[in-house]
Structure formats: structure tokens, C-alpha cells
């Protein structure tokens, strides 16, 4: 068993201490996270992203406990330097579902929730402010603050406060009174809560008092960091939206939510809706990661930091860990026409290799015009014993000619001639060069599958690509790989982690991701089924005799032709990060119409033996989109799959007459 600690056991920022949040912090190269999130900006921001995009880590990084750590204990100096005081709140901790139902109207509940929320956030703001004070406030200043704090309430029964600590105790006791009333209202059949402050008075009023009374804070805004908005109901989110719309000077908001988490942008301000660019701006974190040319470098530094911190007694230099990352994982050389990747076939002569046995049977069954000698000639012309993957390339080119109804013997001779030219000079044979460039990965996948070998997902760069802008996906992949490497008694960091451990780890991480992402909301089973159907379509294409696209993991469709049901499921799948929208779209090959375009999240690739990288785009017709995403029966989808198979596999038959509209382009 390896003596090295697994650096990736904890992947959620909510499970980190404040010290660990700082310890594992890695900034982006180029534009920093501060530049993206703009913590000093008065404009509120929605920080959005899929599960594991890093928004919680980012938001906690801007909170006062982390400011204190960065300031080496001198919080006030750090707040003054950074220009804001960060106050972090997780909505999950509010147990907001308590403020609903139990025989009472929503109008009652929302008022109580607002009051409880403002007490909570005001108390956090008070505590944050007190933590920044390096010396006690002058008695006159504290007395004035306490006296004016009373005016934030609408009733006269608020006690006289002698100190800020007394205000803290009062806010906590008032919260507790509400908690007791709310938690017992179903038993007592009454909801006895008195709301003593108008919406916004506490939330905005206390920062205003501090800025007016304390000279040091006159230019320091209070930044409310409200995380996990998805845990609030529509009405509760409407209240948060109202705060954003009615914000006052000296206060701003960063609100974090998952992609599916923003249920409304409506407010209680005259029924107005918040508009992006006017009331708020958005930071789609995973989209930013996917489009950022420095994401790979950021991801590598994130991983190197984890490895170094977990095993700092064994490494003297974090930079060295970063430099050696790729060497920690065994990979296969793609040079020499895939010889290393296909070495399991080198001891088998061409005639006895599975791909030639399969082709021979197809020729016997479907090329009736060929006699035995002609079949042998075709097979001989396509064989190239030294390079099994080149043989697969030759067979693929023969399938192209077979589809075009060309003479197979003559075609095999031409392929043999051009193959020799390609091997002598890879730039000399345009046809071989183009097919090799596009389909090499798919042909290798076919070879592995035909020989009952596992598909390989190897190397650190592959894991970054699989993460697709969600850093937690990368950490999960590595967590499972390191667990398997430990289980297999490998000498981690002393020798590359084996291909077997990487294959097992990526598959386990993929299955966890799919299971975890497919459990949100009442339509989760439909979303999960649709993703399975889509992945099966891609798999049929990838392992067909003549695939219609290379590296099939992306599809395009005419957005306006999709039914509302299909569009809704596609949108939900995107919000759960199962699909990734390619914003620039896809031009249909025939009409040049700009269609919608989506990629299956590459984290799912190992489940269905699909490629990680995006290349070709499969154009799906309206009936195919409906069969995959909208139709609850299996019959329509089975018909679509059958048509794909008939068109892409020997003997390349046209679809059934009843399915003529399910056409695909073969070029």
C-alpha cells in the first residue's frame, strides 16, 4: 500500500475550514478571480455555475475570515486594502423550507422569512464589523451606534442597548423566538411572530450607521455573499431579488446559485423584474472556465497545490510537483501509427484479427458478386500486419467505397496503393491523411471494443478535458484514480499510475457524476433517460462500419422545430451540466441554417465509451430530437436507432419507408 496520502478525498468547499480555503486557493492566470467577481463593485452579481464549478470556494474567499487570514490576523488593514468587508451566508443553513405551508398562507410566511433573514444577515454584519475592530470603539461612538440602531425598528419596545454585544444578544434571541414559533406552528396551529422592522431597514441600515459613525469605515462597502440560492423557494428568491433592486449605497451583493437554481427574477417592487445589465450582472463561472485559455494552467496548479499540501513532508518544492504532473500518469504514445496502443495485436497475423474476420463475413454475406478469390484479394490488399490501426483505416475507406457502390476489388487496390504512399509520406495521400486525422480515435476505440479491451482515458490532460470547466470533476477523477492506485499497491509519484487504475478511476468518477447530476427535481428521471438515449445514439455512430461523424459527442438541431417538451428537457440537462451548450451554434450542412448545438458532458464519456474531445457534430432531425428528449415510449427511439444502424453499417440500407423523414447526411 502506498504511504502517500490521497490529496483529493475532500472535493467540496463546504467541507473545508477557513484555513483550507486559503491553503488550496489558486488564482487564474491573466484575469484574476477578483477581476472577474469585482468584490468592490456596487453592481450586484449573480455567480452561476454547475455543481463543482468553484463558486462556493470563490465566495468564501471574499468573506472576512479569509480576509483576516490573508491579512495575517490584521483584518482591518486587509479590509482597508481590499476595499470591502465580506459577509458570507449559505442559504442551506437557513432551513428555508420551514417557512412554508403548515396551514398558513404564503403571504404570511414570506414576511416572517424576510424578517428572520434580515436578523440573520444583520447579525453576521455586526459580528464581521466587530471582528475588524483592533481597539474598542470610543464610548461616544459606540453609544451613538447603539442608540441609532434602535431606530431601525418600527416599534418602541426595543431595549436600550449599552454596547454592540448587547445588540448581538438581542438579534440572536429574536431569531431564536422566531425559530421556536416556526418550528412549532404545525403543532400549536398558530404562527405567533411579530415583525418589528420594515424590509431592508436592518440589512441596509446597519452598514449605513457604521459608515456614518465610524470614520475608518466611511468608504468601506459591506459585501453580502449569499450562497446556494437554489435552496430558496420562488417567493424567497423574489425577496432576494427585491433587496438587489432596492440596494442602498454602501451595500452590495454577490449571490451564488447553480445553473438550475435561479427560479425567478421577479421582485416585490411593483411587480418589476430585475434585468441583467441594469440591476445585476452575471458571472457564469464554468462558462468562463471553458472559454479561458488559461484554464488548463489553473487546473494544473490547483492539483499541484493539493498534492503538495497533502504530502509536504515528501516534496520540497510545489513547482516541481507542477512540472511532474504529466509524468505521474502512464499514457500511450500516439506516434508510429498507434503501435503502442495496439500492441496486443502484434502477435496475431492479419487474417486472424477480429476486424478482418468481421469484414470477411460481411463480404460473404452481402457482396454476392465476389467469389472466394476476390474476397481474399480484398483482404490481402487492406492488410498491413505491422500496424493494426492502419488496417482499420483501410477497412473504413473500403466501407466508404462500398457505400458508394464502387467495385470493391478495384477499391481495395487503390486503397493499398494510397496506403503505401501515406506511410512513406503522410502528406502524400489526401484521402488517408484526412480520414486518419478525423477518425483515428474512433478506429482505435473500435479496435479495443472488437477485442474486448477497455476504452482508455489516460493522462492528466485528458482529465482536465473531462472536467469541462468544473474543477470538482477533475478532483473527483483524481480522487478515484488515487484510490484505485492505492488499492493496487502502486508506488504513487515514484512510478506512473497504471493505465488500469486510471481506467477504473475515470469510469467510477463518471458514474458518480451521472448519478449525482440526475437527481434534481421531478423531471430528473426523464432527463436521465434522455441523456442515456443520446449517448446510445453517439455510441451507435462511433462503433458503426461507416460513422457519419468523427468523435461523436455533439449534436445540432433546428431550435425552432423542437417541441416545448423536448426544449425543456434539453434546458434542464444543460442546467444539470449533463449537456454543454456551444454558444456559437452549428451550421446545417444542407441549408446553412444556424442551429442550436450541444455537447454531451465529457465527464460521461467513460460510461458509453465515447470520445472526450469535440469534433464532428451530428445533425438531428425533429423526429429524432423528439424521440430522444420528449417521447416517453421506447418505440420511436428504437426506430431512430434502427435507422442509424441501417445507414451506417453494411449493407448500408435506407431507412424504412415509414421513417423517410429521419434522414442523415453521408458525405
In a domain, 17, yes or no: no
User: CB under 8 Å to 232, separation ≥6 — which residues?
Assistant: 91, 94, 96, 240
CB atoms within 10 A of CB 1: 8
Question: First and final CA of the chain: distance in angstroms?
Answer: 53
Same domain, 43 and 122: yes
CB atoms within 10 A of CB 644: 21
Same domain, 359 and 286: no
Does the structure show a pLDDT above 90 at 190? no
In a domain, 221, yes or no: yes
In a domain, 471, yes or no: no
d(CA 118, CA 244): 13
In a domain, 297, yes or no: no
pLDDT tens profile 322-340: 999 999 999 988 788 999 9
In a domain, 70, yes or no: yes
pLDDT tens profile 570-591: 999 999 999 999 987 766 666 6
Same domain, 119 and 210: yes
Same domain, 425 and 570: no
64: its cell numbers: 472576512
Q: Are 27 and 274 in contact (CB under 8 A)?
A: no
Lowest mean pLDDT among 128-132, 154-158, 389-393: 154-158
Domain final position from 450, 476, 509: 450
Which is higher by pLDDT, 447 or 616?
Answer: 447
The pLDDT assigned to 657 comes to: 39
In a domain, 298, yes or no: no
pLDDT tens profile 208-227: 999 999 999 999 999 999 99
**Can you tell me the mean pLDDT for 275-299?**
94
Same domain, 287 and 364: no
pLDDT tens profile 145-162: 999 999 999 998 899 999
Same domain, 169 and 107: yes
**Helix residue ranges per DSSP H, 451-545:** 460-467, 471-487, 499-517, 524-542
Portion of the chain with pLDDT greater than 90, in percent: 81
The pLDDT assigned to 514 comes to: 95
Lowest mean pLDDT among 1-15, 81-95, 456-470, 652-666: 652-666
**Can you tell me the mean pLDDT for 185-194?**
82
Taking Cα atoms as reference points, which of 501, 546, 489 lies closest to residue 329?
A: 501
pLDDT tens profile 408-427: 999 999 999 999 999 988 77
Does the structure show a pLDDT above 80 at 518? no
Same domain, 145 and 268: yes
Same domain, 252 and 173: yes
The pLDDT assigned to 589 comes to: 65
In a domain, 316, yes or no: no
Query: What CATH number corresponds to the domain at position 96?
Result: 3.40.50.300
The pLDDT assigned to 633 comes to: 86
pLDDT tens profile 260-284: 899 999 999 988 999 999 999 999 9
Does the structure show a pLDDT above 60 at 363? yes
Same domain, 224 and 359: no
CB atoms within 10 A of CB 546: 19
Same domain, 547 and 617: yes
| β-pair type (85-90, 222-227) | parallel
Does the structure show a pLDDT above 50 at 665? no
404: its cell numbers: 458508394
Domain final position from 233, 260, 291: 291
CB atoms within 10 A of CB 374: 16
Does the structure show a pLDDT above 50 at 1? no
| β-pair type (586-587, 579-581) | unpaired
What is the 3 state secondary structure string of 259-324?
CCCCCCCECCCCCCECCECCCEEEEEHHHHHHHCCCHHHHHHHHHHHHHHHHCCCCCCCHHHHHHH
The pLDDT assigned to 667 comes to: 28
Domain span at residue 41 reads 32-291
Same domain, 107 and 170: yes
The pLDDT assigned to 655 comes to: 64
The pLDDT assigned to 510 comes to: 97
The pLDDT assigned to 217 comes to: 95
Does the structure show a pLDDT above 60 at 557? yes
The pLDDT assigned to 659 comes to: 38
Portion of the chain with pLDDT greater than 70, in percent: 96
Mean pLDDT of the chain: 92
Q: How many domains does the chain have?
A: 3
Does the structure show a pLDDT above 60 at 438? yes
d(CA 149, CA 151): 5
Same domain, 256 and 395: no
Does the structure show a pLDDT above 80 at 180? yes
- DSSP secondary structure of 399-448: HHHHHTT--HHHHHHHHHHHHHHHHH-TTT-HHHHHHHHHHHHHHHHHHH
Domain final position from 391, 421, 450: 450
49: its cell numbers: 455555475
In a domain, 510, yes or no: no
The pLDDT assigned to 654 comes to: 72
Amino acid at each position: 500500500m502506498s504511504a502517500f496520502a490521497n490529496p483529493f478525498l475532500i472535493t467540496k468547499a463546504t467541507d473545508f475550514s477557513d484555513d483550507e480555503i486559503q491553503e488550496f486557493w489558486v488564482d487564474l492566470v491573466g484575469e484574476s478571480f477578483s477581476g472577474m467577481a469585482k468584490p468592490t463593485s456596487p453592481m450586484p452579481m449573480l455567480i452561476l455555475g454547475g455543481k463543482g464549478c468553484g463558486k462556493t470556494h470563490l465566495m468564501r474567499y471574499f468573506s472576512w475570515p479569509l480576509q483576516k487570514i490573508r491579512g495575517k490576523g490584521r483584518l482591518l488593514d486587509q479590509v482597508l486594502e481590499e476595499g470591502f468587508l465580506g459577509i458570507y451566508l449559505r442559504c442551506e443553513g437557513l432551513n428555508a423550507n420551514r417557512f412554508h405551508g403548515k396551514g398558513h398562507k404564503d403571504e404570511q410566511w414570506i414576511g416572517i422569512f424576510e424578517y428572520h433573514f434580515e436578523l440573520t444577515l444583520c447579525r453576521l454584519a455586526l459580528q464581521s464589523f466587530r471582528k475588524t475592530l483592533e481597539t474598542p470603539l470610543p464610548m461616544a461612538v459606540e453609544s451613538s451606534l447603539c442608540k441609532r440602531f434602535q431606530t431601525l425598528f418600527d416599534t418602541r419596545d426595543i431595549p436600550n442597548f449599552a454596547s454592540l454585544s448587547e445588540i448581538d444578544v438581542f438579534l440572536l434571541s429574536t431569531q431564536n423566538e422566531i425559530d421556536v414559533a416556526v418550528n412549532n406552528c404545525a403543532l400549536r396551529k398558530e404562527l405567533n411572530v411579530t415583525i418589528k422592522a420594515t424590509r431592508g431597514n436592518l440589512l441596509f441600515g446597519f452598514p449605513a450607521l457604521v459608515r456614518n459613525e465610524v470614520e475608518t469605515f466611511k468608504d468601506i462597502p459591506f459585501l453580502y455573499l449569499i450562497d446556494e440560492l437554489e435552496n430558496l423557494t420562488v417567493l424567497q428568491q423574489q425577496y432576494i431579488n427585491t433587496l438587489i433592486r432596492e440596494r442602498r449605497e454602501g451595500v452590495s451583493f454577490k449571490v451564488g446559485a447553480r445553473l438550475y437554481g435561479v427560479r425567478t427574477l421577479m421582485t416585490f417592487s411593483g411587480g418589476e423584474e430585475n434585468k441583467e445589465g441594469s440591476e445585476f450582472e452575471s458571472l457564469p463561472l464554468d462558462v468562463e472556465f471553458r472559454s479561458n485559455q488559461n484554464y488548463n494552467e489553473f487546473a494544473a496548479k490547483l492539483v499541484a497545490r493539493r498534492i503538495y499540501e497533502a504530502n509536504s513532508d515528501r516534496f520540497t518544492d510545489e513547482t516541481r510537483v507542477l512540472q511532474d504532473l504529466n509524468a505521474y500518469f502512464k499514457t500511450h504514445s500516439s506516434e508510429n501509427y498507434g503501435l503502442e496502443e495496439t500492441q496486443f495485436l502484434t502477435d496475431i497475423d492479419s487474417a486472424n484479427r477480429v476486424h478482418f474476420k468481421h469484414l470477411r463475413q460481411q463480404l460473404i454475406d452481402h457482396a454476392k458478386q465476389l467469389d472466394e478469390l476476390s474476397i481474399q484479394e480484398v483482404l490481402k490488399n487492406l492488410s498491413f500486419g505491422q500496424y493494426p490501426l492502419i488496417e482499420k483505416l483501410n477497412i473504413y475507406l473500403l466501407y466508404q467505397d462500398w457505400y458508394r457502390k464502387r467495385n470493391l476489388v478495384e477499391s481495395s487496390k487503390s486503397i493499398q496503393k494510397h496506403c503505401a504512399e501515406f506511410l512513406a509520406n503522410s502528406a502524400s495521400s489526401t484521402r488517408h491523411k484526412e480520414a486518419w486525422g478525423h477518425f483515428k480515435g474512433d478506429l482505435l476505440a473500435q479496435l479495443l471494443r472488437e477485442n474486448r479491451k477497455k476504452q482508455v482515458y489516460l493522462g492528466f490532460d485528458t482529465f482536465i478535458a473531462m472536467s469541462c470547466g468544473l474543477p470538482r470533476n477533475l478532483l473527483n477523477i483524481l480522487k478515484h484514480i488515487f484510490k484505485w492506485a492505492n488499492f493496487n499497491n502502486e508506488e504513487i509519484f515514484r512510478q506512473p499510475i497504471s493505465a488500469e487504475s486510471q481506467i477504473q478511476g475515470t469510469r467510477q468518477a463518471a458514474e458518480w457524476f451521472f448519478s449525482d447530476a440526475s437527481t434534481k427535481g421531478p423531471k430528473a428521471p426523464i432527463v436521465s433517460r434522455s441523456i442515456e438515449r443520446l449517448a446510445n445514439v453517439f455510441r451507435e455512430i462511433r462503433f458503426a462500419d461507416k460513422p457519419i461523424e468523427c468523435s461523436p459527442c455533439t449534436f445540432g438541431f433546428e431550435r425552432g422545430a423542437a417541441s416545448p417538451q423536448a426544449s425543456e428537457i434539453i434546458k434542464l440537462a444543460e442546467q444539470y451540466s449533463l449537456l454543454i451548450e456551444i454558444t456559437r451554434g452549428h451550421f446545417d450542412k444542407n441549408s446553412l441554417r444556424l442551429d442550436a448545438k450541444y455537447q454531451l458532458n465529457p465527464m460521461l464519456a467513460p460510461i458509453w465509451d465515447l470520445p472526450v474531445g469535440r469534433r464532428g457534430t451530428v445533425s438531428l432531425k425533429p423526429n429524432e430530437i423528439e424521440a430522444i428528449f420528449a417521447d416517453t415510449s421506447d418505440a420511436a427511439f428504437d426506430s431512430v436507432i434502427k435507422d442509424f444502424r441501417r445507414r451506417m453499417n453494411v449493407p448500408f440500407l435506407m431507412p424504412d419507408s415509414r421513417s423517410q423523414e429521419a434522414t442523415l447526411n453521408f458525405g
